[in-house]
Every structure is written in structure tokens, then in C-alpha cells.
Amino acid sequence: MQASPPSDGLRTSLHDRGQRLTPQRQRVLQLFERIGEGSHLSAEEVHQRLLRSDERVSLATVYRTLRLLSSMGLLQELELPEGGRRFELASDAHRDHHHLVCVRCGQTEEFESDAVLSAGEQAAAGHGFRLLECVLNVRALCPRCSAAEQL
Amino acid sequence: MQASPPSDGLRTSLHDRGQRLTPQRQRVLQLFERIGEGSHLSAEEVHQRLLRSDERVSLATVYRTLRLLSSMGLLQELELPEGGRRFELASDAHRDHHHLVCVRCGQTEEFESDAVLSAGEQAAAGHGFRLLECVLNVRALCPRCSAAEQL
DNA sequence: GTCGATGCAAAGGCTTTGCACAGCC
DNA sequence: GGCTGTGCAAAGCCTTTGCATCGAC
């Protein structure tokens, strides 16, 4: 009894693009599936985590794979300037997927909002654009840092 | 007849922080004022534009100044991963300031939305955060690129 | 005159790339 | 077996930093 092997979907998607299923690509994607949808990892973190579980993948390949999986729509790149490029598992639910970030300590909370999605859809439609993804970044101060700033 | 000298506000803000008003800092800020609120420039572009108008500022100083002016709240950094870090003139109106970006060709449209701002405020309040800025990035395909993708 | 700011060039991250070898199909 | 993917190391951005000099106050 095991979860449906994720390799199948991946293999097919790759095949359609004339590309191959390799252990490295599986390892990267499975890592994201293991940690779940909410988590954002940098390339370096992906590399470290794979090494820790004895799954050898070179850093260059991590970069190549993150780019590939993003272009295939399986991962998506986050837009949080504080702290570099990060990736997370893509999902339809995440077309509307927002971040509340403390600009001082980096604490990040996620939230969803139909209001935001429909505002995004309206804006896109108004300019004749086709919406792909809609991400609201709220830069803020968390309670602790907000208190610290008052001093 | 000239617009109120921007140096005064800048001089005061700098003074309060024990810092000095230099020609370089004025040039950078004035450049942003000249091009208006909607425009996003990278450090390199700021440098190039200043050189073109014979205002000599080293690239290192451009970086230092962009960082300084941002930390003073006079400029703000954009969050558009496609195409590197960019800055624009800050203004209160821009606390709520959104981008519709074509992921294929980079065409960018701006829009505003009260609905988005209030969603951001709600989210911040719900977690006890103090909102600073609220930016919605809508990744999409512009009409031209959308058509091209259908082929 | 003092102390912060600048310019230059060098150092620093992070990311991509060239090339030979390995391994998927 | 062909041709794509990988690993390694080198190269390439973009950005920051050290240090001597300059200049705002």
C-alpha cells in the first residue's frame, strides 16, 4: 500500500517534451511532494535536504531541474525578494495564494482570498490578458518586530 | 518658476539620520522624480541614465543610494522576479499598487484596487501584523503572446 | 577640521554553462 | 547505441565591500 507513484505523471509530462525521467528529477519532485504544498525551498535548501537523505544530486542539476519543473508547471517560483528565489509545489489552489511577510524577521504566513483572485481576474480581463497566477505579497511587521520598532 | 526644490525634504530626512545631502543622492532621487511614479528602473538603468545626462555617479554609489532611499521610504523595491530588482518612486498611493505582467514578453500594466488593499489589511490584522505595503502580482499572458501560444 | 560619502577595484553570492562521461529509452 | 542528463569546475551576472580620497557640514 503506497501512494500512487508520482513518477508516472512526471514520466509522461517529460516524455511529451522529448525529455527523460531520471532519478535526480524524481528526487527533486518527490522532495517537494514530501514536504507539502505550503513549503518554499531555495535551490540550496533542496540540495542540502537531498544530501541529508543520501540522495545525491549536484547543485547544478538542482538548478536545472527546478527550472525544468517550473517550466512544466509542476513547481512555481515565489516572488519574495527578501531572501532570494524560492520554489514550491504548484497546484491549482495556488493560483490564488498569498503571502504575508515580516520585512524584518522574514516570518511568512500564507492566506487565500477570493476577493484578491477576482480583482486579479478583473484586471487581467480589462487589459485583454489571460491570467495564469495571482500572488499578493503583503509586506508587514509581525507582532514581535512591530513591538521592537517602537523602542 | 520651478517645482519646489526636492532637496529640502531629502536634506531634512537625511539630517535626521545623521546623513548628508550629496549631489549623487540628489541626482538619483531627481531622476526618479523626473520619470514619474509609474516607472521601474534597475540599478544599471539608473546608472546609465545618469551618465547620459552627464551626471556622474559611480555604480557602487547608485547601489548604495538606492538602498538608502528605499530604507528611508522614498523609493520602493519592486517584486518582479522576471528581470531582476527594480525600484520606483514611493508614494502613499503606491501602498496599494499592482502589476499585471506578461510572463512571456514582460509587458507590464499597473492597476489599483481597493478590494486588494482591504484583503491585505484583513490578512495582516488577522495575524497581528502591521501592514506596510501590499502588492498584487498577476502573472498572465498579454493578448499578443496569448495568441502566439495557441499555435 | 571631522566624519561621512564617493570612486575604484576587488571580493562575494548565486546561477548558469562547457565539456566529458554516464545512463535512460 | 544514440542522444539526453549529469557532475564538476569554470565563467557570468549582479551586488556589496575595503580603502584611500573627497567634500558636506
Cβ within 7 Å of strand C: which of A 64-123? Answer: 64, 67, 84-85
Would the CA dihedral through B133, B134, B138, B144 be positive or negative?
A: negative
CA distance B16 to A96: 42
CA distance A7 to A26: 7
Q: Which of A62-66, A94-98, B11-15 has the lowest mean pLDDT?
A: A94-98
Identify the CA nearest to A68 among candidates A43, A98, A33, A48.
Answer: A43
Residue B123's CB is within 10 A of a number of other CB atoms, namely 24
CB A147 within 8 A of CB A102: no
* Residue B95, min C-alpha distance to chain A (Å): 10
CA distance A33 to B95: 35
Q: Which of A115, A126, A138 sits opposite B115 (nearest CB)?
A: A115
The predicted-structure confidence for A97-121, as pLDDT tens digits, reads as follows 788 887 766 677 888 888 888 888 9
Asked if A71 is an interface residue toward chain B (Cβ–Cβ < 8 A), one would say: no
CB A62 within 8 A of CB A43: yes
Is the pLDDT score of A64 beyond 80? yes
Is the pLDDT score of B42 beyond 50? yes
* Residue A53, min C-alpha distance to chain B (Å): 30
pLDDT at res. A2:
44
pLDDT at res. B81:
58
Cell numbers linked to B121: 489589511
What angle, rounded to 10 degrees, do the helices at A23-35 and A43-52 form?
A: 100
pLDDT at res. B92:
60
Please name the residue that has the C-alpha cell 543622492: B25
Cell numbers linked to A120: 486579479
Confidence of residue A22 (pLDDT cuts 50, 70, 90): very high
Q: Which of A96-100, A121-125, B24-28 has the highest mean pLDDT?
A: B24-28
Confidence of residue B82 (pLDDT cuts 50, 70, 90): low
More confident residue, A124 or A7: A124
Interchain proximity A124–B140, CB inside 8 Å: yes
CB B98 within 8 A of CB A123: yes
The protein residue nearest C16 (Cα–C1') is A60
Q: With contacts defined as CB-CB under 8 Å, which chain B residues touch A84?
A: none
Interchain proximity B134–A137, CB inside 8 Å: yes
The 3 state secondary structure assigned to B84-123 is CCCEEECCHHHHECEEEEECCCCCEEEECCHHHHHHHHHH
Interchain proximity A129–B141, CB inside 8 Å: yes
Strand C reaches within 7 A of the B66 CB: no
CA distance B48 to B51: 5
Topology (CATH level 3) of domain A1-92: Arc Repressor Mutant, subunit A (1.10.10)
**Average pLDDT of span B65-88:** 82
pLDDT at res. A4:
46
Query: A64 CA to C21 C1', in Å?
Result: 18
Residue B78's φ and ψ, nearest 5 degrees, are -90, 165
Is the pLDDT score of A35 beyond 50? yes
More confident residue, A10 or B138: B138
Cell numbers linked to A3: 501512494
Shortest-distance nucleotide from A20 CA to C1': C24
Confidence of residue B77 (pLDDT cuts 50, 70, 90): confident
Is the pLDDT score of A48 beyond 50? yes
CB B123 within 8 A of CB A113: yes
Q: pTM value?
A: 0.74
Homologous superfamily of domain range A96-151? Ferric-uptake regulator, C-terminal dimerisarion domain (3.30.1490.190)
Residue B76's CB is within 10 A of a number of other CB atoms, namely 21
Domain ranges of chain A: 1-92, 96-151
More confident residue, B76 or B6: B76
Query: A96 CA to D3 C1', in Å?
Result: 40
Query: B24 CA to D7 C1', in Å?
Result: 46
Identify the CA nearest to B94 among candidates B68, B112, B114, B116.
Answer: B112
pLDDT at res. B36:
78
